[in-house]
Amino acid sequence: MQEEEVSSLMYCGAEVWAQLRERRATLANAIAAAKIETMSCERDICVTPQSVITHTASLHCTLALEVMKNRLHFEHIQSRLTNAVSQLNDCLSGENCELLVLKCEKEQSEAKVNALKVLLQDLNTKCGIFHTNDDEIIASQKPIQQIAVIDKSIETKRDELMWLIGSLSMMERKIHNAKECLLTVFNNLRKDLPAHENYINKGIQLDFPKEQISTLRQFYEERRERRRLKQDLSLDMDLSETSFSDVGNDPRYVDELKIYLNKFKLELNRKLVLER
């Protein structure tokens, strides 16, 4: 079949459509048989240009026939609609026609509104024709961001631990130095040795007082004795003058009472006295 003959089929109408389909099926069977024979003989046969042109022309014929059928169908529907409208115009009055037109416009507007609502919902939810891959990208980026945050927190905790370890080691070193210093001082106090002995070679730096150890010992012993005497104070009223005049003894309760009475002024304590 030549190319001109195949191209002329689209202008022949639906009469030759059955014959065209039969010939196309015969051609397909022949090609399949040739392919099987080629596979059995183990030699390749390429598709010829004539077969490609025939297949393309048949597709063009199919499209042309479909266009013709659709055109006839549209003309038939348009004629039926025209007849129906003319009959309806004869049956209905002008007001009814206007009402029908308004209802049609209302239905059209509602359909547009519903369609816009659906599109807006699809746009907000990013689905349908507005579907994008942003959610997948964000979901794929979330683990990376979480890993970065976790790494940063781990580094922060590591720095804090290093600082705490350094602080603890410094504190332990200070405690050890203080322990060594106290042991040295107490050993020297017990043995009545000079204060600067037995710790210079250990790398311990202290700022000791310039007084002698014996003087410091006497001072702290007297202080301890005074504290012990203060704990043994009695509240018994002793009106003798010796306790107040004797400088060597510690003051008693009566001495404090005399001092309070000498400094007491009624003008300054009038409210306290009257309320009592």
DSSP SS3 for 246: coil
Within this chain, do residues 193 and 207 fall inside the same structural domain, yes or no?
yes
Do residues 192 and 185 lie in contact, with contact meaning Cβ atoms separated by under 8 Å?
no
Q: Which one is predicted more confidently, 276 or 194?
A: 194
Residues 202 and 177: their CA atoms lie apart, in Å, by 10
Within this chain, do residues 160 and 219 fall inside the same structural domain, yes or no?
yes
DSSP state of 201: T
Within this chain, do residues 119 and 32 fall inside the same structural domain, yes or no?
no
Instruction: List the domain range (segments joined by +) for residue 276.
Output: 240-276
Within this chain, do residues 124 and 144 fall inside the same structural domain, yes or no?
no
* Predicted local confidence at residue 192, as pLDDT: 62
Within this chain, do residues 25 and 85 fall inside the same structural domain, yes or no?
yes
| Cβ atoms within 10 Å of 244's Cβ, excluding its own | 17
User: How many domains does the chain divide into?
Assistant: 4
Within this chain, do residues 15 and 87 fall inside the same structural domain, yes or no?
yes
Among 74, 91, 108, where does a domain finish?
91
Among 65, 91, 117, where does a domain finish?
91
Within this chain, do residues 57 and 138 fall inside the same structural domain, yes or no?
no
- Span 235-275, pLDDT tens digits: 554 445 444 444 555 556 666 666 666 666 656 655 555 55
Among 37, 61, 91, where does a domain finish?
91
- Span 207-221, pLDDT tens digits: 555 666 677 677 778
Within this chain, do residues 67 and 27 fall inside the same structural domain, yes or no?
yes
